Amino acid sequence: MNDSIERILFTEEEIKEATAKVASEISRDYKDAEGTTVLLCILKGSLVFCSDLMRKLDFPTELEFMKVSSYGSGTISSGQLNITLDISRKDLSDINIIIVEDIIDTGITLSRIHDMLVKRGAKSVKTVALLNNPARRGTPYEPDYSGLFMPNEFVVGYGLDYNEKFRDLPYIGVLKPEIYKR
């Protein structure tokens, strides 16, 4: 295990099972959907989850990316949302969008992106988060699909970072407090 990790919260196997569970729920709901279904991967943290999820869905999807920033360099949310990379297509009227997130904390990011895509005229917009941290919720927003509910701890790995590090860990672990408090 990485020296900076206090303990593993979710193993590779648990992540795989949770991904299969949400993939099966999404596949059930979208198998007869009309139009094009696009997975919208919110960079950077969702890259790993999105990559695994798309290969578990049993219907065809297309892929788009958006990069937003609601956090500074530390662990506290600033509450701001800045779009630094936008979706590449303009006409969304025939597009079912599934926003793919690694984690929902306050809910600010998902709820704002959801509302923005609805305003832009998407055919439908749903959201999936691998990790759901309900204790941090500052808005009444809940994703349509949640993989794993987690305790209110600072976690890294499987795409999630602290100051850009630890995204490459194959598991999700609790960071040792001395790493982010020093």
- In the complex, the smallest distance separating the C-beta of residue 180 from ligand PRP, rounded to whole angstroms, is 13
Is residue 8 within 8 A of residue 30, CB to CB? The reply is no
> Cβ(100)–Cβ(125) under 8 Å?
no
Q: In terms of CB distance, is 43 or 179 closer to ligand PRP?
A: 43
- List residues binding ligand PRP (CB under 6 A): 42-46, 69-71, 77, 101-109, 161
Find the shortest distance in angstroms from Cβ 107 to ligand PRP.
Answer: 5
Q: How far is the CB of 72 from ligand PRP (least distance, A)?
A: 9
* 161 token code pair: 């970072």
Positions marked catalytic = 105
Closest CA relative to residue 107, chosen from 144, 159, 72: 144
Q: Which is nearer to ligand PRP, 44 or 123 (CB)?
A: 44
Q: How far is the CB of 110 from ligand PRP (least distance, A)?
A: 6
Ramachandran region, residue 20 (left: φ > 0; alpha: ψ -120 to 50; beta: rest):
alpha
Look at the block and give the residue holding tokens 């499987």. 158
What are the phi and psi torsion angles at 48 (to 5°)?
-70, -45
For residues 64 and 102, which CB has a smaller minimum distance to ligand PRP in the complex?
A: 102
The two structure tokens encoding residue 100:
């793919």
Per-residue CA distances from 119 to 112, 116, 122, 125 (Å): 11, 5, 8, 10
- Residue 45 or 173: the one with the smaller Cβ distance to ligand PRP is 45
